[in-house]
Structure 1
Amino acid sequence: MARLILFNKPFGVLSQFTDRGSPTARATLSDYVAVKGVYPAGRLDRDSEGLLLLCDDGRLQARIADPRFKLPKTYLVQVEGEPQKPQLQRLRQGVELNDGMTLPADVTGIDEPALWPRDPPIRVRKAIPDCWLRLTIREGRNRQVRRMTAAVGLPTLRLVRWSVGDWTVAGIAPGEFTEISV
């Protein structure tokens, strides 16, 4: 049986166990996960938060991370501006990025979710509204959600990965993890 760790990665933490080559030490997974023999199944940017899966089985790791399996990844995204129907429709149809067209995303506007506070907090500009989206993608390009929302005129302020497939970060505090057998 494979071990799977559901980790709620805080903002500012690298999705790796070491920080080689950096002149200043940055927080890594080793600061939070003291479990030997597990490796990230995919990545989550340093400035993103939420669910990061780690496992000890290479086949499971590949199945989770490999885009050809199209495992859905759902994000709660705080964007700058108020989305208009044409912007949401572009996300639903796929967005042309510099590395090609994305697959269509599932996207809906949502009320502000009850999340943990981010440290540091996002910048707030009184003259510019913001709103929240629930966005699901089935591929995993570098900084994809941020690039998609920016391409339709809705820059991302905060990005929280809520789920990957059936696994979710619900009930797991930032910096904490739950281990399950698969």
Structure 2
Amino acid sequence: MKLRLHQFLSQTGVFGSKRAAKEAVWAGEVTVNGSVTKDISFQFNPRTKPVTYRGNLLHLPEEHVTLILNKPPGYLCSRLNKHERSLGKTPVFDLLPDHLSQRDKDRMVTVGRLDEATTGMLVLTTDGRVVSRITDPHHHVPKVYLVRTAEPLGEDDLGALRNGVEIELEVNGEVSTHRTQPAEAHQLAECDAQITLHEGKKRQVRRMFSSLGHKVIDLHRTAIGDLWLEDLGLREGDCLDLSGMNVLALMGLND
């Protein structure tokens, strides 16, 4: 998104009038990307080129950024320290597109998490409202996964998933038993199934299948709400920038 310099300055709230903003530019008190700019009509992208006035960094009123990432395997949904990186770990934040400013990248959080081996749809955002609407357990937002197991699945397995199974969860070092909510489960092939959850516990899909004696060898999230990854045309590792759009409405969650 490109703005003219005088438009940007007028939106920062620093100047009392458009005239004051223009005079600051003409006086050489404004820099864009480190260089003094005296052209009030100069066009630039404020997300990638910082602006200062008398040495102070200026910002537009906060605009939220929301992305959909087709997560590849081998990436973690957390910020990593130097030691973790030295072990060869890589965060999903390394996949954020170059057009985002460093400030936006630093503000970005993942909406829920996919473990290192799991692939598929991941939402990243700076908008707390989006995070709350998708992750709050009271909203029961559907999330669809494609699952492949090491051994063939039976109808008894699918029936158990539909009724809910008991899994073990660890919170703050304490292990407890949780009975999962009924899931929608459909067999796609001998070892393949599609499962829809309306809750989100840590490694829940893997734990559910493990409770039935099945090892998950491939796990892919394909949808959140009404938004399906296959409809977005994203290659693995690519992001779709939905900033400025009503993301919750796209997911059918705008209520």
TM superposition score category, shorter chain reference: 0.7 to 0.9
CA drift at 1:63 = 1.1
Secondary structure (helix, strand or coil) at the match of 1:87 reads: helix
Whether the 8 Å contact between 1:6 and 1:167 is mirrored in structure 2 is: no
Alignment coverage as a number of residue pairs = 163
Structure 1 or 2: more helix by fraction: 2
Q: Deviations over 1:36-90 (max 9, x none)?
A: 2332111111111111001121011111122221100100001122211111100
Q: Identify unmatched segments of 5+ residues in structure 1.
A: 112-129
Q: Please say which structure displays the higher CA radius of gyration.
A: 2
**Which of 237, 243, 249 is the matching residue for 1:175?**
237
**Structure 1 runs of 4+ off > 3 angstroms?**
none
1:97 aligns with 2:158: no
In the alignment, the residues of structure 2 paired with residue 4 and residue 101 of structure 1 have an alpha-carbon distance, to the nearest angstrom, of 33
Counterpart for residue 5 of structure 2: none
Counterpart for residue 8 of structure 1: 70
Q: Deviations over 1:71-113 (max 9, x none)?
A: 00100001122211111100000001123100011000114xx
What letter matches 1:29 in structure 2?
V
Residue correspondence of structure 1 range 34-53 to structure 2 within 5 A: 34=97, 35=100, 36=104, 37-53=107-123
1:132 aligns with 2:195: no
Percent identity of the aligned residues? 31
Q: Identify unmatched segments of 5+ residues in structure 2.
A: 1-62, 169-176, 247-255
Structure scoring higher RCO (CA < 8 A, sep ≥ 6) equals: 1
Coordinate RMSD, CA, aligned? 1.6
In the alignment, the residues of structure 2 paired with residue 54 and residue 72 of structure 1 have an alpha-carbon distance, to the nearest angstrom, of 17
Secondary structure (helix, strand or coil) at the match of 2:235 reads: coil
Whether the 8 Å contact between 1:7 and 1:169 is mirrored in structure 2 is: no
Whether the 8 Å contact between 1:50 and 1:160 is mirrored in structure 2 is: yes
TM-score by length of 1: 0.83
Residue correspondence of structure 1 range 24-35 to structure 2 within 5 A: 24-34=87-97, 35=100
